[in-house]
Amino acid sequence: MNQQHPADQASSPVGGPTLRADGATLLRDGAPHRLLSGSIHYFRVHPDQWEDRLLRVRAMGLNTVDTYVPWNWHEAERGSFDFTGWRDVERFVRLAGDLGLDVVVRPGPYICAEWDNGGLPAWLTATPGIRLRCSDETYLAAVAAWFDELVPRLAALQASRGGPIVAVQVENEYGSYGDDHAYMAWVHDALAARGIDELLFTADGPTDLMLDGGTLPGVLAAATFGSRPGQALDKLTGRRGEQPFVCAEFWNGWFDHWGDPHHVRGADSAASDVRELLDLGGSVSLYMAHGGTNFGLTAGANHDGTRIQPTVTSYDSDAAVAEDGTVTPKFFALRKVLTEHRGDVGDTQDDRWIQPPVRLPAQALPPVSTRPLLPALWALGAATAASSPLTFEQLGQNAGLVLHTATPILPRGSSTLSILGLHDRATVYVDGHEVGVLERETSHRGLTVHGQGVPVRLEILVENLGRINYGPRLGEHKGILGDVLVERRIVHGWTSRSLPLDLLPVDGLWAGGATGEPGAADSDRADAVGPQGVIARTTLDVDEPADAFLALPGWTKGFVWVNDVLLGRYWERGPQHTLYVPAPLLRAGSNTVTVLELHEVGSDLELKDEAVLGEPEEYVEEL
């Protein structure tokens, strides 16, 4: 492929930018203007609910909505682009415009967003030797091909061409990652060369470190923060001189990790800082105005330097408009501030958009039927043989599970089985029985297995807990990156079975559980230390589809489908204990609920009256 620099490509601007800076003033079509924006991610909201959520944030007093565009949502396989259905970003943008909202688009190519791999495709980060988010030629070639598909779609929807897009972000918080200014200039020019003639801006935390790395001369530098707006303005003014004060992300809430507290922020705290920001003449985008859900296997993960921190399925983020569309006390506190600074109320008093959505009543679902997990997994797809366990990247797999099988001799008595380079979690079976779980941080210490000096069927079911979306570990590979050891001896001769749960037919998973287990398995073996994983099924009968919150009391860890849609993960460690079921996923009559439980079956499934996202812990200081 011949790489052409975007600056050398022809662009066809139609008119001047709708938004522009005049000193410290932001002008829209020549008149002073204030962006009162909020984030809604089309990819985290069922498309049948886009209009509802947009109308709710508009009723809060917003005049603009912003969204990221996750590259891996549209090009999951290299060269195969999808902009249909749930991925129809153009329809989302047009809908926002039809409802009277301006749109800010943040196309990356990296978005963070607590989204798997920060939005970068797994096939891209699997490329040998590639360097991400810099002037690496292989990386730039892939970005150029992606922008060739995406950017003309956005350019056609700019305000200068009759659409609602008034601004486009260059990369995303780049100063938190690197300092390749030539790369940032390349992204800027790539957007302009493909037709972006509306306002271009960068966004970074208001610190010297971040602004040093992420800003560009002559390009509006917006900031991202959740408190102390006066300090942010002082920092920007001291470095950039007179320019409009724009907060591209105001963190009025926060997201959660599995095993950590549920983060909340008080309504008064958020509203007070937004008021100060607006009193300083600033424009703001609430992150999030409505958070939505990490459906399927789309949730990313962080790493704090010592452990992986996988993000939960809910992306409620303690936003003003909750995961199911319910408006919260924060909605009303922010609406008061926003309408005061708008100088008009528009439709913000329209009570239609503050009514709670209809929900199914609390109820127990019928008792589940179960089938053993391992036979269900054996029945799906073909296994690939290799001397060592294959990684997700070697299997061409983005997310889900991989089942590795080998037949080593276990010495008589007790020995230690360990895994070097586990990313991220493994359930270990000997002759069909679960003998323990190894996790990324401790897998090198191993677990105890018992042998008789004869070959056993050793199986290791590895789970990708979400690809890291932020920081220098971005693009890390998944699976078993090293070796499996019995004491100091490496186990060779493996087959690896790819199980991308988000792509596999759930009916095939259930049908596979009915097949026989290969090989004899002695249920009295001393290795067996507890219950086994299962595939479970039940039904949810409804007269009229409505939203629901599904709970799995006593279940340990796994995945849930409603009909043929993978809702996401559940995990007993919390903080999240219900999964949001949007009404459009249900149909009148009988609906099938399928559970892949990795360890231990709990009591029957049930619906709750409201979301159970965990005991709240106030979260402000780190914002």
At what angle are helices 137-155 and 89-98 packed, to 10 degrees?
40
DSSP string of 31-89, one letter each residue? EE---EEEEE-GGGS-GGGHHHHHHHHHHTT-SEEEEE--HHHH-SBTTB---SGGG-H
Residues 219, 168: Cα–Cα separation, whole Å: 11
DSSP for 536-562, written as a single string = EEEEEEESS--BEEEE-TT--EEEEEE
Rounded Cα distance between 258 and 613, Å, is: 11
Sign of CA dihedral 133, 136, 142, 143: positive
| DSSP secondary structure code for residue 455 in this structure | B
Does residue 249 have an active-site annotation?
yes
Q: Which of 198, 249, 434, 459 is catalytic?
A: 249
Signed CA dihedral, 193, 194, 198, 203: sign only: negative
Cβ(171)–Cβ(202) below 8 Å: yes
Q: What are phi and psi of 336, to 5 degrees?
A: -60, -45
Close Cβ partners of 373 (under 8 Å, ≥ 6 residues apart): 513, 532, 533, 534, 535, 596, 597, 598
SS3 content of the chain, % helix, strand, coil (to 5): 25, 30, 45
Could you count the other beta carbons within 10 Å of the beta carbon of residue 174? 25
Which residues have C-beta within 8 Å of that of residue 340, sequence separation ≥ 6? Answer: none
> Is 276 a known active-site residue?
no
Q: Is residue 276 exposed (0-12), middle (13-18) or buried (19+ Cβ within 10 Å)?
A: middle
How far, in whole angstroms, is CA 91 from its chain's centroid? Answer: 21
Question: What does the block give as tokens for 560?
Answer: 């849930």
As a whole number of angstroms, the distance between CA 225 and CA 203 comes to 10
- Kindly give the pairing relationship between strand 199-204 and strand 165-169: parallel
CA atoms of 169 and 173, how far apart (whole Å): 10
- 430: helix, strand or coil: strand
Q: Which of 75, 114, 171, 173 is catalytic?
A: 173
Phi and psi for 499 in degrees, rounded to 5? Answer: -135, 70
Active site residues per annotation: 173, 249
